[in-house]
Structure 1
Amino acid sequence: MDTLAVDTWERLETGTPLGLDPNEEAITDYLLYELHRRYLPSTIIRNTDKLQVRKLTKSQESKVGADWEWWIGNHVDGWVCLRVQAKRNYGTRYPRLAHKVHGRRQDIMLIEECLRDGPGYLPYHVFYNGWDDRTFKPSGQDGTPTDVLALQKNKHFPHHAWQPILRQTSATKAAGSTAGPGFTIARLGSENPRWWGCAALSSYAVNAQLDTRRNKYDVDRYLRQAMPWSKLFSSNRNLYPNLRAPADYMQVPAKYTSLTDVIHWRLLADTDHSPALEWGSPRIQGPLKLESRRIYQLPEYVLSLLESERGDEASQSHRSFESWGPARTRPRRVVLTDLRAPEFGPDRT
């Protein structure tokens, strides 16, 4: 996911001056396709499928304010559903952040529908970012750009990726490389803003910013809070490993041992300690039973992905999209990650 975030940044950075920069929908389709391609089902053991992706027909627009749903968990521990709204930057702003659908602001719609459907649904925004070094003005005596100043105030900064990035260079084309023809291993520094090419933030925090009067579309306001989207699924038990004295809620309790539990706690802590508590988001107070905030009866369109995972392609292919439940609850894109897969064993920061 870190690799895709850096790739998104560079596509926007280089494509914008040429007029070839993609919109949110094109970026989302590309990212989900790449996730699916990189985690193709095993042809030997079908039960090791790590990620399943399906897109609904374009005529079935989402009624819940989400661009896609990401289901995380397994049949034993239950499931959590992230409903994600995607927005990209245009220069130093997110001008479409308060976009309305049928008179309803998307962020409000997203939050209300998650609360309506139950505690297992969590609303998130993912920001697609990319710009060159001249986009943000220098500030202060040292002339540090305002985007860098915003990141320096972020609890998730700096970001320590768990894998290097393969990047093509002309030098290795001639010299050759153990990483493959035309590629070399480039390790971006932990303070490089490109890790925020895909940045995630609780929609409650986004809503709180949008309800302010000044500068509510400015990118740097959201850079102060958003995390690299890979951290949505981190197994690090410390929410903010860069802080020397984190609060109690920032540490996953020792009693939660499964990967589903760790990821779920992190997501709840990030959501429940966001602003806009007037929405009724339940705070983490006292003993918390994660299982009471899980989903155990999956919607039919998600069950069809599991059928595909088991190899029941014929059954899945004969289902029409229109049979996948009420239109209000159908997103246009669905991603399912089964955390039973052994590939999710190593710690991911």
Structure 2
Amino acid sequence: MTDSSISYCNSQSIKFPSLFGIFKHTKYGYILYDTGYCNRFYKETSNLPFYLYGKLIPVYLNENESASEILNTKYGINNNDIKFIIISHFHADHISGLIDFPNAKFIYSKEGFEYLNQLKNSNSNIKCCLNGFIPNLLPLDFLNRSIQLSINDFKFINNIPFKVFDLFNDNSIFIVDLPGHCLGHFGVFFKCNNQNLLHNNTINNNENINIDSNSNNMTSNENINIDNEKSYLLIGDAAWSLRAIKLNALPHLLTKYFVQHDWNAYSNTLNELHKIYNESSFHINNLKKTRKGQEPINPQKKITNHIRIIPSHCWQVYESFCQQQQPLGSDGTTPSTTTSIISKL
């Protein structure tokens, strides 16, 4: 099994998985959300200063556990079939596998990349390392295949407390601004139909996410309807676990100084995710919290306003979704069908 670990002063080492996501658009094909680690990471962290990165966050990558190998061997998806890769941010655990997908276009934050590129151009590998950025992990033709999104093009729309960008202008996939962890940190929001994408550990290319712009289920981008029980919010490192979101619990204070770009923004983002979690999940405790005179919530009643939140380093997501090949509901349940893949690296 592949994971990473990190330790703080006077605390135990914490292991965590690094996940990537894949979903299929009926018009634009396969799209990745990050790539996780690959063996190239070891090469690029063999010398100082990036050697320190590998020591601070040791990576355990077993054979055939890179994104490209998982997609090829387990799901029959060729590297050349990946059309787009949405980069949540440029930390090594999210971009190490970019070079394995030669036909993909890269979608990412203009402001976030410009900040890191300035560090690279200043020949300050130490500053790059401190920002978790290893420039040599980017393909040589990275800029030629780039689609840069500026935060100025994002806007607030109904039902989502974050600024979003309609990626294909068809209400299918929304890039979500989730500030705090990094400058230009992106998540992805989308809703799907009831079709299975996975079947007996293989992918049937005739079964895909119905997010075509002509779908009658889509609403205008001024008022997204999220009453479909299959809405997903992939959040990268906006929070590191569903437990943190549920409890609205900030990470170790040391991350304020060594990991998070903007602590206040990170706190605000976590708080909004906490609200989404509570509003889109059914908890038995809700039966005890109904106001006087208010009808108790029926446990058998279908919960329609349901968004599955997917952090990139959450063991609960990995165990409930990746191992069982089923998507994880934000209440910790495992639905019977899947519309995206989150695979461990």
Shared fold, TM over 0.5 = no
Higher share in helix: 1
Structure-1-length-normalised TM-score: 0.27
Structure-2-length-normalised TM-score: 0.27
Higher RCO (C-alpha under 8 Å, 6+ residues apart):
1
